[in-house]
A and B are shown apart, each in its own frame.
Chain A
Amino acid sequence: MSGSWSASVTTFLALAPLLAVVAGALVVLLAEAFMRRANREPLGYVAALALLAAGFFTVRSWDQDLTYFGGRLLLDRFALLLIALFVVIGLAVVLMSLEYAARQGLKLGELCGLLLLAVAGLMIMVSSTDWLVVFLGLEVLSVASYALAGLKRTDRSSSEAAAKYFLMGSFAGAFFVFGLALVFGATGGLGFSAFLGNGTSGPALATAASVGLGLILAALGFKIAIAPFHMWAPDVYEGAPTPVTVFLTFGPKAAGLAVLFRLLAPALKDGRFAAVFSPALSIMAVLTMFAGNLAALRQKSLKRMLAYSSIAHSGYLLVAIVSGDGPSLVFYLVAYLFMNAGAFSVLAAMSGPGVEYTALDDFAGLGRRYPWLAAGLSVFLLSLAGFPPTAGFLAKFYVFSGAVREGHFALAVAAVLASLVSVAYYLKVIVIMYMKEGEGEVAIEAENPALYLVLFLCLFGTVQLGLWPGNLLALIRQALSTGF
């Protein structure tokens, strides 16, 4: 009796991060519906609290390696690391939105509630090796994020973003399910390793399974924004409210990559499998890097430029997947979390009531008028470009050197050249901020403590991870030392 009691307690503990987030989401959404006060900030605090609780439970289950539902939900360290990242990004978005929502006329409760649901979807996605559970997480994430993208209901580009995201996302979801059906039909299992176990005895990978896997990869590629499945990304990232963009450029990407890594890290060690998928993924990585970077060169809006840069970073991250380099992948994700959120938070700060300044020309002379904001953005951009001693450099160093170590020499060269292209447009922003004088002086409302807290923490993370990532690196390596 007591055994089953303690078992159910541990089950509860394992599910606690998820439960905390979902409960938070429900509370916030209900409160939003019934709340009479105009000031919705308390809802933001509730959401933050829910995320903090999830974070607490995540840390608690660190060394326990819990699995539930017959192994369909597993909280290994890899999953926990990513869940922690999702909690961090969730918190960052909530804090950024507190003031932003009021200024832009968004309902904070809706934003936070949907955000928590999306985070729950991410958590499910990364903590399973069962296709159906992953799909479940993917759908929870998708539905919430379609709505998030369209939160600015009066804004045409936001509605367009939502519609586009929804249509393309539905296709991707259909691809996923169809691929799943093929894989299931060919291998008779829904686990990630099912087709591998089958493959080792057979002469070659079954065609149906290969096609199915290809479809699934395409669907995941859509979520991660990998070329040629990235076309939706710039419009959605640009149209969505800025805090939501922060979430969209990181969350689905990280979760999709985590699923890819769980699937491919063992699979790419299989010679026959690698023969097909390793070149395919390499080509996609190169395409993604160059498509993102070359398109970013021509942008007139910083938000859109960062959207393309986000695509390019998917390409760099894919390099880590191809070389099966888990620690570098996670480290890159952490670094990207900080520098990307930081850059977008500067963008969020560049706003007034009902207006956002995203055009590059609005940044002219920023170095003189808002020196701290400009200095912060410069650090983030330099980090995104991969200049030492920032986190971005170290992340690229690990990913690319891992690729060379695993023999993907050409891929590393392509990645390095793509970074060179990226330097041109990141520096262009700095040129505009410091070396051009502004004509139409934009006036921003500087009063926004929560946003500045996010900005400062991102800055701290970006610099700290570039100089002394010691503990984090050790933690990541320890987390991935088993199981992969």
Chain B
Amino acid sequence: MTAIAANLPLTSIITFLPLAGALLLVFFRGESVRAVRTAALAVSLLSFALSLVLFFGFDGRTGVPEFVERASWLGRGIDYHVGVDGISLFLVLLTAFLTPLALLSSWRAVTDRVKEFSFFVLVLETGMIGVFVSLNLFLFYVFWEAMLVPMYFLIGIWGGRRRVYATMKFVLFTMFGSLIMLVGIFVLYSAYHRATGGFSLAISDLAGTVLPPHLQTWLFLAFGLAFAVKIPLFPLHTWLPDAHVEAPTAGSVLLAAVLLKMGAYGFLRLGIPLFPEAAAAFSPALSVLAVIGIIYGGLMALVQKDMKSLVAYSSVSHMGLIMLAVFSLNFEATEGALYQMLNHGLSTGALFLCVGVLYERTHTRLIKDYGGAAARMPVFAALLLAAMLSSAGLPGLNGFVGEILCLFGIFASNKVLAALGVSTVILSAAYLLWLYRRVMHGPLRDPDGRLRDVDRRELAYLVPIVVLIVFMGLFPGTILRKMDGSVARYVESLKIKPKAASSWAIPGQPARAERHVGELER
């Protein structure tokens, strides 16, 4: 296995295979819906199969990126440089795992412009995987921004009634954050150039250089804003309920399961390692915001009338816990955060899929329109319950492992915050189980007899998630083992704090005379 993997540019193949599939779809006839769907599904499944090869071939003990590919691209430090380590590997897997399910879930929900829909989902997959595998900051940014475009179309064309508003809000919020990050990248680029005389945007190079504290602060804020919007951290979360409620099911699934993780991933990969001192300085403030997010999201979820916005607010709450763990800056919490990112991707993905199943039958998402559905849909009820319990952190399921790791880590760094953070367990149990009771139990409300149990296609996309939920609850070691090396290395890198070289000038007012020899263009 390793021999094959070593010879193939596996990372690139996984990244660009969906894009190639999407371009292939362009040549399909729009009317042959069945062929388009099958082809898109086949491509995404192939991509998932390859990501499994990546998983089994991944060693992870050293903690350095594996399957690294590097090629010069634009010059001056802007290279094509990809690879996976224990932090990104599972997010790649998650993306590759959920994309085929999302495609499968829209076979009945999306009947208009199927070709374009499949095209955008596949392009989105390339963008998402690209973000996780990029080891060059420029490449990271390219994928980060490029990913917005397919999501913009997915929400805007196949979304609900207020889709145009929701998609514009989503794009403008996210772009605001990322454009500020872009300026941060410029500053970092020129700061590196000033310090070393060379050009580099490789993340490892940048993390290896020491920045003066005030520059770190500004850069951390610039990068942090982009990531905080994406997570979303309270109070930047307002785009999320709109986007989620209006997005088609597949869009919601990918948005919740993968796109939100990018914010947390951004902190783990860039925000904290590049600016460790600023991150440490800001971690109390950000932790407080995360706790507010946990409680606020949970309370908001309790009062929602629409199932989708309930799940959306539960995401705000859960991502709050993940961020709290990320800012605890220790081993357990970081590993817990990573694990919880996967859990949240699976359980929230499953919840959105379940809401989609109900919506396809009744064309309403309002909780009050449902009741006693378990009687008509026993299999569905079981699957939904599994997803909910995973989300609420029932022991034996994956959510428990992640939450307990997170809370151990948070407790080690701050006991008050840990105590407040625990409320996520109570709140999520409350709003999810109450939702379950209102929708699945009680008197049956199904005047037109439209509630049927899940069919084979729906089982095909729900069962794999539930299986994984149980598996990850029982055998967390399989996954944690592969993370250990990278997380240990990450935590170690935060502890070493060499004294900042004070001789550096910020790129604010450079003296005109100081021209570096390296600047070739003049």
A residues 390-415 in Cβ contact with B at 8 Å: 393-394, 397, 400-401, 403-407, 409, 412-413
User: Contacts A424-B168, A435-B164 given: A389-B142 contact, CB under 8 Å?
Assistant: yes
Q: Give the contact stretch, choosing among B41-49, B176-184, B311-319, B351-359.
A: B176-184
Q: Do B179 and A416 touch (CB < 8 A)?
A: yes
Interface size of A by Cβ–Cβ distance < 8 Å?
A: 43
Q: If the complex has contacts A388-B146, A407-B509, A470-B75, are A326 and B521 also in contact, measured as CB distance less than 8 A?
A: yes
The reply on A446 being an interface residue by CB < 8 A is no
9-residue interface stretch from A101-109, A246-254, A473-481? A473-481
Q: Are B172 and A424 in contact (CB under 8 A)?
A: yes
A271: Cβ under 8 A from any B Cβ: yes
Q: How far is the CA of A423 from the CA of B172 in the complex (A)?
A: 8
Tell me the dominant secondary structure on chain B's binding face. helix
Comparing B152-160, B232-240, B440-448, the segment that makes contact with chain A is B152-160
**A431, B145: Cβ atoms closer than 8 Å:** no
Contact pattern, A 280-317, Cβ under 8 Å of B = 1, otherwise 0: 00000000000000000000000000000000000000
Interface residues of B in 488-511 (CB under 8 A from A): 507-510
1/0 per residue, CB under 8 A from A, across B219-249: the answer is 0000000000000000000000000000000
Interface contact A400-B183, CB-CB below 8 Å: yes
User: How many of B's residues come within 8 Å of A, CB to CB?
Assistant: 42
A168 to chain B, nearest CB (A): 34
**Nearest-CB residue, chain B, relative to A480:** B521
Count how many pairs of residues, one from A and one from B, have CB atoms less than 8 Å apart in the complex: 102
Task: Let me know if A60 is at the binding interface, CB within 8 A.
Answer: no
Which chain B residues lie closer than 8 Å to A406 at the CB level? 510
Q: Given A387-B145, A484-B522, are A473 and B75 also a contact pair (CB < 8 Å)?
A: yes
Please judge, given known A-B contacts A269-B512, A388-B141, A427-B171, whether A412 and B521 are in contact too, CB under 8 Å. Answer: no
Segment among B185-193, B369-377, B464-472 that sits at the interface with chain A? B185-193
Q: How far is the CB of B104 from chain A (nearest CB, A)?
A: 24
A473 and B509 form a contact (CB under 8 A)? no
Tell me whether B520 is interfacial, beta carbon within 8 Å.
yes
Tell me, in angstroms, the Cα distance from A352 to B186 when the chains sit together.
46
Question: B395-432, CB under 8 A of A: which get 1 and which 0?
Answer: 00000000000000000000000000000000000000
Q: Given A424-B168, A477-B520, are A431 and B156 also a contact pair (CB < 8 Å)?
A: yes
CB of A325 within 8 A of chain B? yes
Choose one: A325, A382, A401; the contact of B190 (CB below 8 Å).
A401
A473 to B73, CA, bound (A): 11
A387 pairs with B182, CB closer than 8 A: no
Task: Determine whether the beta carbon of B142 is less than 8 Å from that of A388.
Answer: yes
The 8 Å CB contact of A435, one of B142, B156, B189, is B156
Kindly provide the distance from the CB of B77 to the nearest chain A CB, expressed in whole angstroms.
11
In the complex, chain A residues whose CB is within 8 Å of the CB of B176? 420
Q: Among the listed A404, A470, A481, which residue makes an inter-chain contact with B187, where contact means beta carbons less than 8 Å apart?
A: A404
> Is A327 close to B, CB under 8 A?
yes
Q: Assuming A388-B141, A404-B189, what are 4 further A-B pairs, CB within 8 angstroms? A: A423-B172, A424-B168, A480-B522, A481-B521
The 10 residue pairs across chains A and B that have the minimum distance between CB atoms: A404-B186, A405-B190, A388-B142, A401-B186, A416-B179, A407-B510, A388-B146, A327-B521, A435-B156, A388-B145
Task: Supply 12 A–B pairs (Cβ within 8 Å), ascending by A.
Answer: A274-B512, A387-B148, A400-B183, A404-B187, A409-B507, A420-B179, A424-B172, A430-B152, A430-B156, A469-B74, A470-B75, A473-B74
